[in-house]
Amino acid sequence: MSSMEMSLFYVITNDFEMQDLYKCPQNMSSERIPRPYVGSYFLISGIALILIYLPCFIAMIRSKCRAPSYQLMIILGIFDLLSLTVNSVITGIMGIMGVSFCHYPLFTFCAGSIALGSWMGACVCCILMALDRCVEINSHFPLAILFHKPVFRFVMIAIICFWCYTTFFTKPILFTAQYMCWFFDPNIGFDASLYHNIPHTINNLLVAVISTPLYIYLCYHLIFKFGYTTSMWQYKTKYQIVIQAVILCSFHAAAAYIYVYMQFFPSPPWLIIIGQLAWQWSNGCVCIAYWTLNRSIRNAAIRMMLSRRFRQRFKLHMGIDEAIAVERGEDVKSVTTNIVAIMGNTAKVAPFLNE
At 150-163, the pLDDT tens digits run: 899 999 999 999 99
Alpha carbon separation from 289 to 16, 52, 191, 194, 286 (Å, rounded): 40, 11, 42, 39, 5
The secondary structure of residue 89, as a DSSP letter, is I
Per-residue DSSP letter, 182: E
Q: Quick one: pLDDT at residue 241? A: 67
Higher pLDDT, 112 or 215: 112
Report the alpha-carbon distance of residue 351 to residue 183 in Å, rounded. Answer: 42
Q: Which domains does the chain have, with CATH numbers?
A: 3-308 (1.20.1070.10)
Helix axes 36-62, 68-84, angle to 10 degrees: 150
The span from the CA of 26 to the CA of 327, in Å, is 74
Spatial CB neighbours of 325, under 8 Å, sequence gap ≥ 6 = 331, 332, 334, 335
The pLDDT confidence band at residue 329, using thresholds 50, 70 and 90, is low
Contact 96, 40 (CB under 8 A): yes
* 198/193 Cα distance (integer angstroms): 10
Mean per-residue pLDDT for 17-44? 87
Spatial distance between the Cα atoms of 351 and 355, rounded to a whole number of angstroms: 8
pLDDT category of residue 147 using cuts at 50, 70 and 90 = confident
Report the mean per-residue pLDDT for the chain. Answer: 82
**139 has a pLDDT exceeding 60:** yes
The pLDDT value given to residue 169: 94
pLDDT of residue 318: 58
| Helical spans, DSSP H, in 138-231 | 149-168, 198-220
pLDDT in tens, 31-65: 888 999 999 999 999 999 999 999 999 988 888 77
Strands 174-176, 181-183: pairing kind: antiparallel
What is the per-residue pLDDT across 186-204, written as a single tens digit (0 to 9) for each?
Answer: 888 888 888 989 999 999 9
Q: How many residues does the chain have?
A: 355
CA atoms of 51 and 287, how far apart (whole Å) = 10
What value does the mean pLDDT take over residues 267-272? 92
pLDDT at 293: 80
47 versus 212: the higher-pLDDT residue is 47
